[in-house]
Amino acid sequence: GQNIDQPTEMTATEGAIVQINCTYQTSGFNGLFWYQQHAGEAPTFLSYNVLDGLEEKGRFSSFLSRSKGYSYLLLKELQMKDSASYLCAVKDSNYQLIWGAGTKLIIKP
Amino acid sequence: GAVVSQHPSWVICKSGTSVKIECRSLDFQATTMFWYRQFPKQSLMLMATSNEGSKATYEQGVEKDKFLINHASLTLSTLTVTSAHPEDSSFYICSAGDGTSDYNEQFFGPGTRLTVL
């Protein structure tokens, strides 16, 4: 079966750095997405990786290793508004998005 | 980026009634839209893929006669929850891609929170 694993919840301090990991086993791979979802709202796009390596976009970076079935989202200089759930999603061989359960990130002052 | 709207943003209805949710792509044409359901503290669950001018493709376990999808135009898809029951209470989210990005990014609507009493 297809499976995406991410930690259920993480806590970090304002101004610090946090890394959210995602491992996947899917039938084929056509890219990995990270989305941010605030409570009661729809997800918003953060990043996309299809080749191995690090993609940097401001305070957020995303890394992919296809051979390991592994990705992480790195958030720097954390702000209180970064408190949200972070969803990892993989596009499989049928170009269907398979979603992880999300990681709830709690930022403390 | 592309904008997707949903209406209504929330709805409360009595058990046994039907509820229609609209999803619109405001500044682009979407041949395909996706309908998701999300229960509290759970991930997004794809319900169906809505194709303009043809029948929707439903995921396994989703009752097509209960969740009616109509993709009437390139900018509008509707989801009708028929004979709603309390267990249908959930957060319903649609998404669409404009097909212009290499990775076919999905743009999400703001979601509709359905509560069935």
pLDDT (tens digit per residue) in A35-92: 999 988 888 889 999 999 999 999 999 999 999 999 999 999 999 999 999 999 999 8
- Inter-CA distances, B42 with A1, A15, B24, B39, B94, Å: 19, 28, 25, 5, 16
Q: Identify the band that residue A21 occupies on the pLDDT scale cut at 50, 70 and 90.
A: very high
CA distance B42 to chain A (A): 6
d(CA B23, CA A72) in angstroms, rounded, equals: 32
State whether A101 and B1 contact (CB < 8 Å): no
List, for residues B75-112, the tens digit of each pLDDT value.
999 999 999 999 999 999 999 876 666 566 788 999 99
What integer is the mean pLDDT of B41-52?
86
Confidence of residue B30 (pLDDT cuts 50, 70, 90): confident
Among B103, B111, B113, the residue with its CB nearest the CB of A48 is B103
| Min Cα separation A94/chain B (Å) | 13
Residue B67 · residue B80 · CB < 8 Å: yes
CA–CA distance, B92 with B20 (Å, rounded to integer): 11
CA–centroid distance for A24 within its chain: 11
